[in-house]
Amino acid sequence: MGATAEPGGAAAPAGAGRRSLGGDGSLPWRIGSAVVFLPILYLLVRRGGLFFFAFVALLIVLGLWEFFGLMAAQGLRPYRALGLGAGVAVAWFVYAGLPTHANLFLTAFLLGVMALELLRPRAQGVGPMSVTLFGVLYVGWLSAHLLYLRELPTELGLPYGDGASLVFLALVPTWACDTAAYAVGMAFGRRRLLPAVSPKKSVEGSLAGLAAAVAAVLGARAWFVPFLSLADALVLGAAIGVFGQVGDLAESLLKRSSRAKNSGEVIPGHGGVLDRFDSLLFTAPLVFYYLKLVVFGAP
């Protein structure tokens, strides 16, 4: 993290010319957004139920709108309204505990989009169909795993309130990883990680993010998820540190292919919803399946 452009368009080494965390002017906005947003998120996660579902549904709608905008910038014509509705519908089936209905709906949605493309004037073929379905799966389905986490205690016969701790187990290490990677990359980044995808991300920042994710899971184990063994905490922390950054890079690839700096401007200092939640789209499913299959041993 922390690359600057040299004359002629070449990227300078990551971190060159930028040693201040607030060098781009975004840090005050980031802090202000966190002060406003995090207490609201905490209350919604603790409350659960329809309140948390509404929050996730809003994330899906905003995230899909940004994603479809990125695809439109490439000349594609996704089915925006249909995709937005499908993303929220998938989340609802997950929240309502109807996985079979979700599978049926996704199957019908795929067939329906294919049929609609046949009737569309100046049909583009596979492009609009693919990006519409991919958007629903990428933003809608992956986001729905936050609901899976929040509702998991109901499936396991545990107190419903415990679901908040499971959601925080995904949120806290993911954002600790993001924050550490950003801060260390801006201050000390020298070697670029994947310059073809994201010129500003550095190896130093990536390693700091990995270490922060592991430390955050160990802290969570001592604080609010004591059922995790030390081995599970280390494995889960390392996995979050890796896959969270993969999620960030995947979204960077989408933006780069659309020649966009940010996915949107919804969150001051952060950009769009996808810019803030891209890592979580990868780590929420990871945490859910690890907890369910490995820690709790549920079928």
- Mind listing the pLDDT tens digit for each residue in 135-166? 999 999 999 999 999 999 999 999 999 999 99
pLDDT number for residue 14: 46
pLDDT number for residue 77: 87
pLDDT at 180 over 60: yes
| Rounded Cα gap, residues 175 and 30, in angstroms | 13
pLDDT number for residue 149: 97
Lowest mean pLDDT among 95-104, 163-172, 213-222: 95-104
Query: Mean of the pLDDT values across residues 176-199?
Result: 89
Q: Is the dihedral of CA 288, 289, 291, 293 positive or negative?
A: positive
Instruction: For the chain, give the mean pLDDT.
Output: 87
Query: Mean of the pLDDT values across residues 78-83?
Result: 94
pLDDT at 8 over 60: no
pLDDT at 1 over 50: no
- Mind listing the pLDDT tens digit for each residue in 56-67? 999 999 999 999
pLDDT at 176 over 80: yes
Quick check: helix, strand or coil at residue 227?
Answer: coil
Query: Mean of the pLDDT values across residues 7-27?
Result: 45
Query: Mean of the pLDDT values across residues 120-141?
Result: 88
Quick check: helix, strand or coil at residue 198?
Answer: strand
Q: pLDDT above 70 covers what percent of the chain?
A: 86
How many CB atoms neighbour CB 7 within 10 A?
6
Quick check: helix, strand or coil at residue 267?
Answer: strand
pLDDT at 15 over 50: no
**Is 103:87 a contact under the CB 8 Å cutoff?**
no
